[in-house]
Structure 1
Amino acid sequence: MTRPTPETLTEACEYLAAQDAAFARVHQALGVPDWRYGAPDYAVIARMIAFQQITTKAASAIWGRVEEAVGDVCTSAILAADEETLRGCGLSRPKIRHLRSIAEAVETGALDLDRVHAAEMEAARKELIAVKGIGPWTADLFLLYCGRLDAWPSGDVGLMESYKMLHGLEARHDTKAFDQLAESWRPYRGVAAHLLWNWINTERAKAYAANGGG
């Protein structure tokens, strides 16, 4: 898979707009979303692990220190780095264990990212989540970054919050209900995710600017 073309994304947005008027509003206001594309390699997964459950600002600082400490983030670099070095970058012990577990799986061939990249989505997802340290959300996000138009990061709070905002709801859907709703967006759930991310990020930027940047 490669980065989706603007033509493909436009077709997907028009399809989604016909399914839900909220997507029509986003598409009209913001156009075709920029795709969060990343090469299907270990560094992409490692970065996802590093960014989990902390603020983007904090995660960016930690990731920068990791890159400074080990150079190019690859399996051999992470396996060669001692725990003290990685802890000094700000990584928690569980995240270090996950990074090493995934690196070992890639090194031994238990996880073949080229095979994952070429496989049908369900087979690719199954191979990813079989590795200790890669949960369903990380697997789905990785596949989304690789260009899978229907990959869906279930449980992503940002997506649920964005949809709530667009529809003026008092509360977010829970994960199960939101996943059921997203079924109607197949085969473009990944495009729906990008539209929702674009919307909430734009609204947050407006609020930040309105508050004087503070």
Structure 2
Amino acid sequence: MRRIDTLDDIEEGVRALVAADARLAPIHAMVTAVPLRRSMPGFESLASIIVAQQVSTASAAAIWARLKTHVDPLTPENYLGRGEEAWRLAGLSRPKQSTLAHVSKAVLSGELDLLDLCALPAEEAIATMTAIKGIGPWTAEVYLLFAAGHPDVFPAGDVALQSAVGHAFGHESRPGAADLRAFAEAWSPWRGVAARLFWAYYATIRGREAAPML
């Protein structure tokens, strides 16, 4: 599988996208840069994505910093070992505490191999991850984008991507996940670069970062 590992890969993807869909050229022209945003695959990377769900970038960063302080190093063993008091002090919500506990147990039991699944086709990797209680499609897709470097994943459930695409193409309201997923099929096999492009576009038009914290 081709991976998005470098800024050269991003540039290649953007060129291919603009050539295939001329509507993306003015969108690309508006953004300063389309960032790579890669992280090392593993528990810590997935944990950072879970922490970032449904909170602002500033809140996610604060919670993440506290979690890394109270669970150091941040490993499945240490997360479970520190227990609910440390999780509460970090500011994790009950659902996120539970999700990280389920992920920790799955990693330790061998049910979830966060390195091996990076080599799987996207559909198979997403199915493996979403079998763990608390992990939904958005979490799995973002992990594959930024930890695995998957080139053709588009997290259509992401509200910022929905807003960015709706704004870019003059929709009166932002498209829902199903509509956006169908819309993004035209950008295959570079949907992972298209997602980065629209997160960068969102940051430009809204003046704030919206891509998931890593």
Asked whether the two chains share a fold, i.e. TM above 0.5, the reply is yes
Matches within 5 A, 1:164-183: 164-183=166-185
Asked whether the equivalents of residues 79 and 101 of structure 2 are also in contact (C-alpha less than 8 Å), the reply is: yes
Matches within 5 A, 1:62-73: 62-73=63-74
Matches within 5 A, 1:49-198: 49-145=50-146, 146-198=148-200
In the alignment, what sits opposite 1:44?
Answer: 45
| CA distance in 2 between partners of 1:70 and 1:25 (Å) | 45
- AA aligned opposite 2:72: G
In the alignment, what sits opposite 1:209?
Answer: none
Question: If you compute each CA radius of gyration, which structure gives the higher value, 1 or 2?
Answer: 1
Deviations 1:49-102 (A, max 9, x none): 111111111121111111111112111110111202211211111111110100
Deviations 1:153-207 (A, max 9, x none): 121110111112222332111221111111111111111000000011122228x
- AA aligned opposite 2:198: L
Segments of structure 2 that go 5 or more residues without pairing to the other structure are 209-214
| CA distance in 2 between partners of 1:63 and 1:31 (Å) | 27
Distance of aligned partners of 1:47 and 1:163 in 2 relative to their CA distance in 1, 3 Å threshold:
same
- AA aligned opposite 2:203: N
| CA distance in 1 between partners of 2:84 and 2:115 (Å) | 28
Distance of aligned partners of 1:94 and 1:87 in 2 relative to their CA distance in 1, 3 Å threshold:
same
TM-score norm. by structure 1 comes to 0.89
Deviates more, 1:92-101 or 1:10-19: 10-19
CA positional deviation for 1:40:
0.9
Structure with the larger RCO, 1 or 2 (CA within 8 Å, 6+ apart): 2
TM-score norm. by structure 2 comes to 0.89
Asked whether the equivalents of residues 48 and 138 of structure 1 are also in contact (C-alpha less than 8 Å), the reply is: yes
Asked whether the equivalents of residues 38 and 149 of structure 2 are also in contact (C-alpha less than 8 Å), the reply is: yes
Segments of structure 1 that go 5 or more residues without pairing to the other structure are 207-214
Distance of aligned partners of 1:2 and 1:169 in 2 relative to their CA distance in 1, 3 Å threshold:
closer
Asked whether the equivalents of residues 30 and 204 of structure 2 are also in contact (C-alpha less than 8 Å), the reply is: no
Distance of aligned partners of 1:177 and 1:3 in 2 relative to their CA distance in 1, 3 Å threshold:
closer
- AA aligned opposite 2:206: R
CA positional deviation for 1:45:
1.0
Number of aligned positions between the proteins: 206
CA positional deviation for 1:10:
2.0
- AA aligned opposite 2:155: P
| CA distance in 2 between partners of 1:4 and 1:85 (Å) | 35
Deviations 1:100-159 (A, max 9, x none): 100110001000112102222222222111111211110011000121010121211101
